[in-house]
C-alpha cells in the first residue's frame, strides 16, 4: 500500500467537495431541514478532518475492505470526515468500500455519489440507500472486514448479525451528554456555550448537550435570568439561515414533545417552548425546561430536538446522575479546577470524556476538524472485534486507523 498515493486521493476528494460546498450544504438542508449555515460549517469540519488525517498519519494498517453507514443528521462531517477519509487511507482506490445512506438522505446521497464519481478516482466505492441494502451489500462482499456504523438502537439487530460473521464493527451511537455548571464558573460563558452546543443542528446530533446540571449553590434566580437572556439570542424559524430550523423526522419531535409534557406535569417550568408544523417540517422552538427533579425522562434519556432540560442539584449527587444514564459521550464541566477534578475522577470511570471549561464546539471547529473522541458510557461508541465481545471505546476515533 502506498500511503502517499492514498493521501493524494484524499486531497482530490476534499477539493471536489470544496468546489461543490454550497450545493452540498443546500441539499443537506433539503433532506434534513438543518440550517445551511450550520451545514456549511460542518462540511468545513469534514474537510479539516480530512486534512488532519493527511497530516497526522504516515503509516496505517491496510484493509481488505470497509463498509461505512452515514449518520442522517451530519453526513458531511460524520461520513466524509470521520469515516470515508480513514477508509480511503486504509483501502486506497483498489479495495472495496461500501457507503450507505439512511433513506432520509435521498437527495444528499445522489449528490455525494456524483461528486465522488466526478473525480474518476474511486471505482472501488459502492453506494447504497437504506439500512437493509447497506447490510446485504456488505455481507455479500467477503473482503469487507470492518463496518463503521452511525445509528441508534435499531442498528443493534444488524450489529449482532454482523458479529456472527466474525467481522469487526465500530458503532457510533447517540449521545446523552451533559453540561455541568458549578458555583465558581464563569456563568455567562458556561450558559452561552451550553446553549450553542445544545441547539446546533436543531439538537439533532450525538455531540449535542442533552441535559444540564446546575450546582445548587448558585443562586437559582441569577442563573435563570442568564439562561433567559442567552436563549433570546438563539435564532429560530423556517428560514434556512436560522440556527434552529424545523425537524424533518416527526417521530423525533413527538418524543421530545411527549417528554416535555411529562416534565411539565411533574412541575417543570419551560422557557420559550412551542411546537408547530410547517411546510419544511416540525419546528420546536429552542427551549429550556427547568426540572423539579433530575429523574424525568427528559433528563435521563437522550432526545434529538432543541430542548435543554436543566436540573438544580447538590454537587455530591452530580456524578451519580451522570453515570446512571445511557449514551453519555462527554460532560462539559464549568467551574474551578478543584471541583472539576473531584467530578472528573468519578465520571471518567464510565468512559465519559470530561471537558474542562470547554464546549464540544471548542473541539470540532471548522478550522481544526475533529480532534476528539467517541467513547461513552453504555451502548454508545462500542467496538466489536471479531475475536472479542462488544466493548466500550475510549478516546479518539483514530481507532479506525489501527
pLDDT tens, residue by residue, 167-177: 888 777 778 88
Do 210 and 259 contact (CB within 8 A), yes or no? Answer: no
Q: What percent of the chain has pLDDT over 90?
A: 57
Scored b (16 or more CB within 10 A) or e, 348-384 reads eebbbbbbebebbbebbeeeebbebbbbbbbbbbbbb
pLDDT at residue 209, rounded to an integer: 94
pLDDT at residue 254, rounded to an integer: 94
Q: pLDDT tens digit string along 234-274? A: 999 988 889 999 988 888 899 999 999 999 999 999 999 99
CATH number of this structure's domain 3-173+381-400 = 3.40.605.10
pLDDT at residue 390, rounded to an integer: 54
User: Higher-confidence residue: 62 or 367?
Assistant: 62
Q: 69: Cβ–Cβ under 8 A, 6 or more apart, which residues?
A: 100, 101, 102, 131, 134, 147, 148, 149, 150, 151, 155
Grid cell in block for residue 23: 450545493
Q: How far apart are CA 393 and CA 137, in angstroms?
A: 27
CA angle 306–330–223, rounded 5-degree value = 55
Closest CA to 392 of 352, 332, 347: 352
pLDDT at residue 384, rounded to an integer: 60
Beta strand 97-101 with 66-69: parallel, antiparallel or unpaired?
Answer: parallel
- Every domain of the chain with CATH number 3.40.605.10 lies at 3-173+381-400
Do 246 and 280 contact (CB within 8 A), yes or no? Answer: yes
Query: How buried is residue 42: exposed, middle or buried, by Cβ count under 10 Å (0-12/13-18/19+)?
Result: buried
> For residue 402, how many C-alpha atoms fall within 13 Å in the half-sphere facing its CB?
11
Q: How far apart are CA 103 and CA 132, in angstroms?
A: 10
pLDDT at residue 80, rounded to an integer: 93
Helix ranges (H only) for 119-155 are: 131-139
pLDDT at residue 52, rounded to an integer: 84
Bridge partners of residue 332, in order along the sequence: 179, 355
Q: How far apart are CA 184 and CA 341, in angstroms?
A: 14
pLDDT at residue 395, rounded to an integer: 47
**Whether residue 90 has pLDDT greater than 80:** yes
Average pLDDT, the chain: 87
Q: Is 389 helix (H, G, I), strand (E, B) or coil?
A: coil
pLDDT at residue 392, rounded to an integer: 52
User: Higher-confidence residue: 276 or 205?
Assistant: 276
Q: If pLDDT is split at 50, 70 and 90, which confidence band does 345 have? A: confident
pLDDT at residue 235, rounded to an integer: 94
Q: pLDDT tens digit string along 6-49? A: 999 999 999 999 999 999 999 999 998 888 988 998 899 899 88
CATH number of this structure's domain 177-362 = 3.40.309.10
Grid cell in block for residue 329: 459521550
pLDDT at residue 82, rounded to an integer: 85
Q: If pLDDT is split at 50, 70 and 90, which confidence band does 122 have? A: very high
Q: How far apart are CA 79 and CA 401, in angstroms?
A: 15
- Every domain of the chain with CATH number 3.40.309.10 lies at 177-362
Mean of pLDDT values over 176-192: 95
Q: 143: Cβ–Cβ under 8 A, 6 or more apart, which residues?
A: 64, 65, 95, 96
pLDDT at residue 399, rounded to an integer: 52
Least confident of 54-58, 222-226, 285-289: 54-58
Q: How far apart are CA 286 and CA 274, in angstroms?
A: 8
User: Higher-confidence residue: 323 or 134?
Assistant: 134
State the CB neighbour count (10 A cutoff) for residue 139.
Answer: 17
Beta strand 177-181 with 209-215: parallel, antiparallel or unpaired?
Answer: parallel
Q: If pLDDT is split at 50, 70 and 90, which confidence band does 386 have? A: low
pLDDT at residue 98, rounded to an integer: 97
Mean of pLDDT values over 89-114: 96
Amino acid at each position: 500500500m502506498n500511503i502517499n498515493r492514498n493521501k493524494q486521493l484524499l486531497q482530490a476528494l476534499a477539493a471536489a467537495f470544496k468546489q461543490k460546498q454550497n450545493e452540498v450544504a443546500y441539499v443537506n438542508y433539503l433532506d434534513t431541514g438543518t440550517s445551511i449555515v450550520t451545514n456549511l460549517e460542518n462540511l468545513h469540519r469534514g474537510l479539516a478532518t480530512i486534512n488532519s488525517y493527511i497530516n497526522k498519519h504516515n503509516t496505517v494498517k491496510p484493509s481488505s475492505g470497509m463498509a461505512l453507514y452515514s449518520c442522517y443528521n451530519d453526513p458531511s462531517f460524520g461520513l466524509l470526515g470521520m469515516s470515508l477519509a480513514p477508509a480511503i487511507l486504509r483501502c486506497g482506490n483498489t479495495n472495496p468500500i461500501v457507503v450507505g445512506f439512511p433513506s432520509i438522505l435521498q437527495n444528499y446521497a445522489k449528490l455525494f455519489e456524483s461528486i465522488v464519481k466526478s473525480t474518476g478516482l474511486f471505482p472501488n466505492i459502492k453506494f447504497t440507500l437504506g439500512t437493509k441494502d447497506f447490510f446485504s451489500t456488505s455481507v455479500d462482499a467477503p473482503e469487507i472486514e470492518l463496518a463503521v456504523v452511525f445509528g441508534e438502537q435499531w442498528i443493534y439487530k444488524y450489529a449482532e448479525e454482523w458479529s456472527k460473521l466474525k467481522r469487526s464493527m465500530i458503532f457510533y451511537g447517540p449521545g446523552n451528554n451533559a453540561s455541568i455548571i458549578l458555583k465558581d464558573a464563569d456563568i455567562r460563558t458556561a450558559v452561552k456555550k451550553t446553549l450553542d452546543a445544545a441547539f446546533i443542528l436543531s439538537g439533532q446530533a450525538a455531540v449535542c448537550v442533552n441535559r444540564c446540571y446546575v450546582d445548587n449553590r448558585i443562586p437559582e434566580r441569577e442563573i435563570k435570568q442568564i439562561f433567559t437572556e442567552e436563549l433570546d439570542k438563539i435564532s429560530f424559524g423556517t428560514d434556512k439561515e436560522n440556527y434552529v430550523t424545523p425537524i424533518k423526522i416527526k417521530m423525533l419531535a413527538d418524543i421530545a414533545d411527549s417528554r416535555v409534557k411529562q416534565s411539565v406535569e411533574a412541575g417543570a417550568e419551560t422557557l420559550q417552548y412551542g411546537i408547530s408544523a410547517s411546510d419544511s417540517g416540525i419546528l420546536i422552538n429552542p427551549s429550556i425546561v427547568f426540572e423539579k427533579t433530575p429523574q424525568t425522562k427528559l433528563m435521563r434519556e437522550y432526545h434529538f430536538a432543541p430542548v435543554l432540560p436543566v436540573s438544580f442539584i447538590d454537587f455530591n449527587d452530580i456524578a451519580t446522575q451522570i453515570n446512571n444514564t445511557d449514551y453519555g459521550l462527554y460532560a462539559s464541566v464549568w467551574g474551578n479546577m478543584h471541583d472539576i477534578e473531584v467530578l472528573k475522577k468519578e465520571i471518567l470511570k464510565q468512559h465519559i470524556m470530561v471537558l474542562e471549561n470547554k464546549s464540544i464546539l471548542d473541539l470540532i471547529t471548522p478550522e481544526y476538524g475533529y480532534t476528539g473522541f467517541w467513547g461513552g458510557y453504555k451502548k454508545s461508541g462500542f467496538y466489536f472485534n471479531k475475536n472479542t465481545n462488544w466493548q466500550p471505546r475510549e478516546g479518539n476515533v483514530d481507532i479506525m486507523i489501527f
